Amino acid sequence: MTNYSVLLLTGYSGGGGSQIGFVYLYGPASNYLGYVGIIKDGAPLPANVQHSNGILNIYFHEAELVALLDTLRNEKPIFVRFHTTLEWGSIGTNMEPVGEAETPAP
């Protein structure tokens, strides 16, 4: 994953009426990989999906948004993964050196 964009919403009926945002994910050639749907805390998360064309829809609660955006802003490379059997999705980094002393986001 090389690029992302963020859209925060109010009054949106998607995600069972509990979706408050999207983080759209893009690959090296600006190809669309899918999105992270941001769901209100306390609401059930929709099932993660990988569509037949490979596009991902994975969901996190709003409490995870700051950590998610901090990771996207400050780390590279970033990997997006989906486990097709267990249907979990993840966004993460490769192995990181201990003590690289990054400054956390405010």
22-71: pLDDT as tens digits: 999 999 999 999 999 999 999 999 999 999 999 999 999 999 999 999 99
At 105 the pLDDT is: 60
Helix residue spans in 1-106 (DSSP H): 65-74
Name the CA radius of gyration of the chain, rounded.
14
96 or 58, which is more confident? 58
Res. 9 pLDDT band, cuts 50 70 90: very high
Measured between alpha carbons, how far is 50 from 43 in angstroms, rounded to an integer?
A: 21
Q: What is the pTM of this model?
A: 0.86
* Bond into 104 cis (ω within 30): no
Q: Do 39 and 68 meet the contact criterion of CB atoms below 8 Å apart?
A: no
At 101 the pLDDT is: 62
DSSP annotation of 15 reads G
Domain boundaries, the chain: 3-93
Measured between alpha carbons, how far is 73 from 79 in angstroms, rounded to an integer?
A: 13
Measured between alpha carbons, how far is 60 from 55 in angstroms, rounded to an integer?
A: 17
